[in-house]
Structure formats: structure tokens, C-alpha cells
Amino acid sequence: MPDEPGLTVDSEPADVSAGTAGSGGTALDAVAEELYGVLPDEFVAERDAAAARARESGERELAKAIGRLRRPTRAAWLANLLARHRREQLDGLLGLATGLADAQRTLDGAALRRLSSTRHQLVAAMAREAGRLAMEAGDPAAESVLRDLQGILEAALARPDIAAQVRSGRLTRTVSYTGFGPDADPDARPVPAPRADAPPLRAVRVDAEPAGAEHADRERAQQERAQQETAQRERAERERRERALAEAEAEEEAAREQQQAAEDARDAALEERDAARDRVAELTAELEAARDRDRAAAAAAREADATAKAAARAAGAAAARTTRARARLDED
């Protein structure tokens, strides 16, 4: 839900992808900087590939952080193009915010009208420039997307936090501001618009209101009712969009949690498989060594058996010779 009246969010919430602390933050910043420069339709595939590379490198926390990066809406992508390729012009536009805020707070109508005219001109020009950049990038922007971009730039002029997100070049959401800028200073007095000197008016007796006053009052009343009805319709539409956003966010969050759980289970299974394979390799090596020892022992046993048989034959032959010698001795 929007955190201030007048600010509506037409797409997923911003997660301006700043890195976390430490070396992982630096790595995440580098990945985010690259991802938010690709076309919106290529973002998810590039993000998943980057997360897979981090996971394969053993950086599971970095992989999870990359997986949480949000794809930018097309209007947010256009704002990112301006932040990346038209930084000076963008800073010039956002620099109007201070003057607009001062004019609003002091009720300086002339300054507010002058700055508002400049703001509208610059916002329109920046939107056209973003359209040219999108065309050069190979992803032309529709008129509705350019209007959404103008809403983002208007919101950035009204809200410093939105301006910071736009300047980051990593905006992910489409925002629009329907308020009238900062609150006026309660002690301020309207600054009268400069008027040319006019000749003194002659005293005129007014006995009744002009004939057209009643008709003008009716027209003003009708205009006020029409404006109120329009405002009610806009509020109803904004509330409908906010409900749709909340539902989409809940669905996405549930899907992200399921994805994370599945990835964790996969990582655990892969680790268990690798451990099992390592154990198989160890046992295979032990088995091969045992087989080598068995073969060596079998060869030694065969050799010892042959030696024993040869010794037995030699002993038998010696016994035979002894018997013959004894027999000859007895004959004498």
C-alpha cells in the first residue's frame, strides 16, 4: 500500500537493488548493475543464469540475493535508461523539486505556475528522449508506457525517496503522484501576482449582483461536482489497483518462497549426491587396493606352494639316497 496520500504504485514494489554489507554486497552490486541494463524481457533469464553461476561457485547467499532481484516494469526500465544515459538532463529535471517545494510552501502562485510549466515541458521532453533510447535499444516503448514514465518523473519531483530510486538506475516499479506537492506552510501568506498599473475606477453603485452571477455559480457547482466525481473514480481505480497489487505481491512472495525451498532442497540433494559419489570413489579405491593385495597374495601363495613341493621332492630324493646308502652299508 502507498505510504503517503497521492502516491500510487501500479506495479510490483521497489527493491532498489543495493548490495548487502561485505564482499557479497560488492558482488551483488556488480550483478545488479549489469542486470538492470538489459531489456525487460531478458531480465529473468539473465538473473536466473547469474544466480546459477553464483550457486555453482558455492556462493549460496549471493545466489539467493540475486534471485530476489525484481524485474523492472517497462516504465521503470525507461527511467533506468535515463539514469544511465542521460544523467545530466535527469539531474536538471529533478533539481526543480526544491523550487517547486518552496513555491508550494510559501504559496507563491506566480513562481509555482512558472515552475509547473517548466516541469511539464521537461518531463515531456525526458519522456520523448527515453522513447528514443528505447528505440535504439531495440525495444520501442508504447505511448502508454511513456505516460507511465512521466508519472514516475512527476512522483520523483514530489518525493525525494522516489527521486533517489530513479537516480539509482535500478528502479523496478511504476509510480505516479496525484497530489499537489508538499504541504503549504500554515503561516505563509499568498504572494500576489504582479499586475500592471490600472487607472482609478469610478465609484459605481451596485444595487444587485450581475445578471449572469447565478448562472456562473451553477456552472461552478457543476464543475465542482464533476471534479469530485472524477476524484472518486480515480480513488476507486487506485484502490482497485492497490488491491490487485497486494494480491500479486502475495502470489509472487509465495512463489518465491516455493522457489527458494525447491532450490534449497535441490542444493541439499546435490550435496548429498556429491558426498555419496566421493564415498563410492573412496570405496572403489579401497576395493581396487584390496584386489591388488589379493592378487599379490595369491601369486605369493602359488610360489610358496611350488617351493614347498620342490622341497618335498628334494627331501624324498634325499631320503631315498639315505635308504640306499644304509642298505649298502648293511651288505658289507
Give DSSP secondary structure letters for 186-251. TT---BPPP----PPPPP----S--TTHHHHHHHHHHHHHHHHHHHHHHHHHHHHHHHHHHHHHHH
Torsion angle in degrees (nearest 10) through CA of 141, 7, 88, 130: 0
Taking CA 128 as the corner, what is the angle to CA 124 and CA 132, rounded to the nearest 5 degrees?
165
Q: Report residue 93's pLDDT band, with 50, 70 and 90 as the boundaries.
A: confident
Q: Can you tell me the mean pLDDT for 222-240?
A: 79
CB atoms within 10 A of CB 219: 11
Q: Can you tell me the mean pLDDT for 268-291?
A: 87
Q: Can you tell me the mean pLDDT for 283-289?
A: 90
Grid cell, residue 280, equals 563410492
Is the predicted pLDDT of residue 203 greater than 90, yes or no?
Answer: no
- Return all residues near 2 (Cβ < 8 A) that are at least 6 apart: 8, 9, 242
Q: What is the mean pLDDT of the chain?
A: 77
Q: Can you tell me the mean pLDDT for 138-163?
A: 89
Q: Report residue 74's pLDDT band, with 50, 70 and 90 as the boundaries.
A: very high
Which pLDDT belongs to residue 59? Answer: 92
Is the predicted pLDDT of residue 14 greater than 60, yes or no?
Answer: no
Q: Which residue spans within the chain are E strands per DSSP?
A: 7-9, 175-177
Grid cell, residue 317, equals 630324493
Highest mean pLDDT (candidates 103-112, 254-263, 299-308): 299-308
Do the Cβ atoms of 78 and 141 come closer than 8 Å? yes
Q: Can you tell me the mean pLDDT for 76-99?
A: 85
What one-character DSSP code corresponds to residue 11? S
Helix axes 87-94, 160-168, angle to 10 degrees: 180
Which pLDDT belongs to residue 149? Answer: 92
Which pLDDT belongs to residue 118? Answer: 66
Grid cell, residue 284, equals 572403489
Backbone angles phi, psi at 7, to 5 degrees: -105, 120
Q: Can you tell me the mean pLDDT for 131-141?
A: 91
CB atoms within 10 A of CB 46: 18
Do the Cβ atoms of 36 and 72 come closer than 8 Å? yes
- Position with higher pLDDT, 328 vs 194: 328
CA atoms of 211 and 70, how far apart (whole Å): 62
Centroid of chain to Cα 101? 31
Do the Cβ atoms of 96 and 157 come closer than 8 Å? yes
Helix axes 96-106, 109-137, angle to 10 degrees: 150
CA atoms of 123 and 152, how far apart (whole Å): 10
